[in-house]
Amino acid sequence: MSRPIAFHVMVKPHGSLCNLDCRYCYYLSKERLYPDSDFRMSDALLEAFIRQYIAAQRVPEVTFAWQGGEPTLLGLDFFRRAVALQQKHARPGMRILNALQTNGTTLDDGWCRFFAEHGFLVGVSLDGPRPLHDAYRVDKGGRPTFDRVMRGIERLRAHGADFNILTCVHAANADHPLAVYRFLRDEVGAQHIQFIPIVERDNDTGFQEGSTVTARSVSGEQYGRFLIAIFDEWVRRDVGRVFVQIFDVALAAWSGHRPGLCVFEETCGYALAMEHNGDVYSCDHFVEPAHRLGNMQVVPLAELVGSAQQQRFGQAKRDTLPRQCRECPVRFVCNGGCPKDRLLTTPDGEPGLNYLCAGFKAFFTHIDRPMRLMAAELVRGRPPANIMPLLAREDADLARKFAAAGRNDPCPCGSGRKFKHCHGAPRR
Ligand code: SF4
Ligand code: SF4
């Protein structure tokens, strides 16, 4: 057994219970794993977890990640106890951080005051402007939730609580990248955004099995176009002002560092999930019997994390890559994506290709030059935001060339096509 220096556990203190019924949610079905449960983490387990989690980390900073379902349904007192227990068990000089993922609909002044006071980072799920958000994010009665989420965000802002936005990219919003991005940036005031592709397996088990996806899923090509459209706007006006997780990951990779997000790491296995009763699973996306490592009330958490089963799980991410990925020019940043989405077969018949491959390849190829430029700025100790005036000059230069180009001239953009069939084609 080799224990990692640090690891993350997404804790589900209220199991999968939620007040919403988001159509694409991968976690609601986990309720079936615990048929007679009240889905409440006991105080004894809460303390045991906090004690063991802190003790197992050999780093000075520890982050607790609270998730669900909807963790706020447990009530504020549960989290007050959690914070008090963290203080009780923290080693001298240790920094304890808390991150909580919520659908935002339950956030009132009490919650937001608490988050601000204790420095919680609150992740709020919001899929874009009203119609795009309400397409799938509905409550148990099928009613829209947009207004309730926006009220929650307003309360967070009013109390000065730290929040980021988690936007799922799916069939309903994937063709509206700029409407989504501009809404989050300009109307929500989001400075940290994650775009999570919905790849939802079409089966009755809720497990990662079968090779078809639901109609709600985004396609690989769509996801690539979505990211490219947002990147092209971001890189011209928002670098250093708005932080989009996958852009940060890419800049790290282009700068020669590890991507820093399990999906794009070579191996994974350091982000586990724990259910309300102490059952520990290899990953939040693999909460299913085959990937249950054990219960931390029976086997210490550190042993479960360092177990051979968990090591195999993490290394399989690299060891099962098909040749197409191993030889791919953007492998250094993509690494085949998350194993949960590897449901395609390569053209030469190898299994294990990521469903989003076309999108990853298009996106990572598209951003190569700007990423090289930003990485070069970083190496010189200068801010990556310096790319914005550079691109502005290039864009202005190109606009002048477009204005001067004749219909049959080669297009100044360098596509190799005639101007009249490229940037000079009449806009429909
Ligand atoms: S299976 Fe996917 S989400 Fe889970 S740890 Fe590995 S890369 Fe991350
Ligand atoms: S872009 Fe496609 S082929 Fe390349 S590493 Fe990613 S999933 Fe594999």
Quote the ligand 1 centre to 366 CA distance (angstroms): 25
Give how far Cα 159 sits from Cα of 49, 108, 117, 152, 290, Å.
30, 10, 9, 11, 43
DSSP category for residue 91: P
Spatial separation of the C-alpha atoms in residues 389 and 377, rounded to whole Å: 13
Q: Is 263 in the pocket of ligand 1 (CB under 6 A)?
A: yes
Q: What is the pTM of this model?
A: 0.95
User: Which residue among 249, 317, 323, 325 is best mutated to probe the pocket of ligand 2, counting the most ligand atoms within 8 A of its Cβ?
Assistant: 325
Cβ atoms 407, 418 nearer than 8 A? yes
Fill in the amino acid letter for 167. T
- Location of structure tokens 């009203």: 130
Quote the ligand 1 centre to 337 CA distance (angstroms): 8
Quote the ligand 1 centre to 24 CA distance (angstroms): 18
Spatial separation of the C-alpha atoms in residues 244 and 153, rounded to whole Å: 18
Q: Is 273 in the pocket of ligand 1 (CB under 6 A)?
A: no
DSSP category for residue 147: H
Q: Is 334 in the pocket of ligand 1 (CB under 6 A)?
A: no
Instruction: Say which ligand is closest to the CA of 261.
Output: 1
Q: Which ligand 2 atom is at minimum distance from the Cα of 329? A: 4
Q: Is 132 in the pocket of ligand 1 (CB under 6 A)?
A: no
Q: Is 291 in the pocket of ligand 1 (CB under 6 A)?
A: no
β-bridge partners, 272: 9
- Has 284 been annotated as catalytic? yes
Going 110 to 113 to 116 to 122, the CA torsion angle's sign is positive
Q: Which ligand 1 atom is at minimum distance from the Cα of 270? A: 5
Q: Classify 145 as helix, strand or coil.
A: coil
Instruction: Say which ligand is closest to the CA of 313.
Output: 1
Q: Is 285 in the pocket of ligand 1 (CB under 6 A)?
A: yes
Closest-CA residue, ligand 1 atom 8, reads 262
Q: Is 272 in the pocket of ligand 1 (CB under 6 A)?
A: no
Q: Which ligand 2 atom is at minimum distance from the Cα of 330? A: 4
Question: Which one is catalytic: 238, 279, 284, 341?
Answer: 284
Q: Is 360 in the pocket of ligand 2 (CB under 6 A)?
A: yes
Q: Is 56 in the pocket of ligand 1 (CB under 6 A)?
A: no
Tokens of 416: 């190799």
Q: Classify 67 as helix, strand or coil.
A: coil
pLDDT in tens, the chain (428 residues): 677 888 999 999 999 999 999 999 999 999 999 998 999 999 999 999 999 999 999 899 999 999 989 999 999 999 999 999 999 999 999 999 999 999 999 999 999 999 999 999 999 999 999 999 999 999 999 999 999 999 999 999 999 999 999 999 999 999 999 999 999 999 999 999 999 999 999 898 889 988 899 999 999 999 999 999 999 999 999 999 999 999 999 999 999 999 899 999 999 999 999 999 999 999 999 999 999 999 999 999 999 999 999 999 999 999 999 999 999 999 999 999 999 999 999 999 999 999 999 999 999 999 999 999 999 999 999 999 999 999 999 999 999 999 999 999 999 999 999 999 999 998 65
- Location of structure tokens 């993490």: 314
Quote the ligand 2 centre to 120 CA distance (angstroms): 35
Quote the ligand 1 centre to 428 CA distance (angstroms): 42
